[in-house]
C-alpha cells in the first residue's frame, strides 16, 4: 500500500487577542478585533492526521501572516468592513515597531513551516498537501468583488466555479479536477455547498509554501489549498452565541473531507 500523503495545515489568523500594550493604541473594540481575526480556527484547523498544524499566536492587526512581510503590506489600516480604522490618530506602529513585530511573529511562523517541509522531504515525501485554514463572517462584503461569504470557499488561484487556470494568476496550487472532487466530497460530508474561487482566489501562504518547498527539492510537488468557511456556521451574529456542538461537527466533517482529498491526490495521475 502506498504511503499516506502528508498534510500540513496553517491557521494564520487564528489569534483573537491583542496584548494591552497595543490594545490601548487601537480604535477597534473587543468585538471588532474578534471579528477581525478568524475565530475558532485554532480549533477547527486541528487534524489528527496532519504532520503539523501551525496556529498563529499573534493577532493579524499586529502583522498579517498571510501577506508579504513588509511594513506596507502586513499591517492593515482598516478592518474587514473597510470603514473602521484599526489605530488611533498617531498611534499606528512606526516602521521600526512593525519590523520588530514581524521578526517576533511572521518569520518564526514560516521558519517552523519550512522546517516541517524540510523534515518531510528528508524522509522521502514527494507530494505534500498544504491547507491554509480560514473563516469569514457574512456580515460584510469581502474580496475584490465585495461579495457576501457563502458556506464554504475553496481556492487554488484558478477560475471561478471550476478552478481551471487563469493566466494572470499563474500556476494552479491544486488541479481543477481535485477542486471539483473536493467540492463533491464536502457536499457529501457536510451537506453544505462549496464555491470555487468565489471571493477568494488563494493567498500568500499557499504561494510561499509552494515556492519554498522547491528550494529544498525542485522535484517535490506541493498541493496548496486556501480553505474558508462561514463563521456563521458556529457563531450566531444576532444572538452572539456560539454553537460548540456545530464547531465539533464541522471540524470532523472538514477533516474527513481533507483526508479524502489527500487520498485522491496520492495517485500518480494527480
Would you state the pLDDT for residue 168? 87
Tens-place pLDDT, residues 167-218:
889 999 999 999 999 999 999 999 999 999 999 999 999 999 999 999 999 9
Q: How far apart are CA 252 and CA 254, in angstroms?
A: 6
Would you state the pLDDT for residue 213? 98
The reply to whether 113 falls in a domain is: yes
The reply to whether 222 falls in a domain is: yes
The reply to whether 255 falls in a domain is: yes
- The answer on pLDDT for 222 being more than 80 is yes
Would you state the pLDDT for residue 269? 47
* Sheet with 152-155, edge to edge strand ranges: 52-55, 7-11, 127-136, 221-230, 152-155, 194-196
The reply to whether 270 falls in a domain is: no
The reply to whether 115 falls in a domain is: yes
Would you state the pLDDT for residue 43? 98
Tens-place pLDDT, residues 76-107:
999 987 789 999 999 999 999 999 999 999 99
Would you state the pLDDT for residue 140? 81
Structural domains counted in the chain: 1
CA distances to 121, 157, 216 from 133, in Å: 22, 15, 24
Cβ-in-10-Å burial (0-12, 13-18, 19+) of 32 comes to middle
CATH number for position 249:
3.40.630.40
Per the structure, the complete domain to which residue 157 belongs is given by: 7-265
Average pLDDT over residues 241-248: 98
Q: What distance, in Å, lies between the first and last C-alpha atoms of the chain?
A: 17
Q: Are 157 and 201 in contact (CB under 8 A)?
A: yes
Would you state the pLDDT for residue 1? 35
The reply to whether 2 falls in a domain is: no
Tens-place pLDDT, residues 26-43:
999 999 999 999 999 999
Tens-place pLDDT, residues 121-170:
999 999 999 999 999 998 888 877 788 899 999 999 999 999 999 988 99
The reply to whether 1 falls in a domain is: no
The mean of the pLDDT values for the chain is 94
Amino acid at each position: 500500500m502506498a504511503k499516506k500523503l502528508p498534510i500540513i495545515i496553517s491557521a494564520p489568523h487564528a489569534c483573537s487577542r491583542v496584548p494591552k500594550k497595543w490594545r490601548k493604541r487601537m480604535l477597534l473594540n473587543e468585538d471588532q478585533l474578534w471579528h477581525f481575526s478568524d475565530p475558532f480556527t485554532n480549533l477547527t484547523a486541528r487534524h489528527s492526521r496532519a504532520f503539523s498544524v501551525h496556529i498563529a499566536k499573534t493577532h493579524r492587526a499586529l502583522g498579517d501572516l498571510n501577506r508579504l512581510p513588509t511594513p506596507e503590506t502586513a499591517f492593515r489600516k482598516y478592518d474587514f468592513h473597510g470603514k473602521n480604522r484599526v489605530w488611533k490618530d498617531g498611534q499606528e506602529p512606526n516602521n521600526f515597531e512593525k519590523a520588530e513585530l514581524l521578526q517576533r511573529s511572521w518569520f518564526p511562523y514560516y521558519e517552523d513551516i519550512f522546517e516541517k517541509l524540510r523534515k518531510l522531504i528528508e524522509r522521502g515525501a514527494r507530494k505534500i498537501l498544504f491547507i491554509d485554514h480560514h473563516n469569514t463572517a457574512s456580515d460584510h462584503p469581502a474580496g475584490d468583488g465585495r461579495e457576501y461569504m457563502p458556506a464554504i470557499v475553496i481556492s487554488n488561484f484558478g477560475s471561478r466555479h471550476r478552478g481551471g487556470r487563469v493566466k494572470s494568476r499563474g500556476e494552479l496550487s491544486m488541479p481543477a479536477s481535485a477542486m471539483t472532487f473536493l467540492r463533491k466530497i464536502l457536499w457529501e460530508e457536510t451537506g453544505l455547498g462549496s464555491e470555487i474561487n468565489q471571493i477568494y482566489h488563494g493567498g500568500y501562504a499557499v504561494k510561499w509554501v509552494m515556492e519554498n518547498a522547491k528550494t529544498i527539492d525542485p522535484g517535490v510537488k506541493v498541493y496548496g489549498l486556501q480553505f474558508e468557511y462561514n463563521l456563521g456556521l458556529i457563531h450566531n451574529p444576532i444572538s452572539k452565541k456560539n454553537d460548540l456542538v456545530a464547531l465539533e461537527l464541522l471540524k470532523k466533517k472538514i477533516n474527513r473531507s481533507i483526508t479524502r482529498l489527500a487520498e485522491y491526490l496520492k495517485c500518480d495521475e494527480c
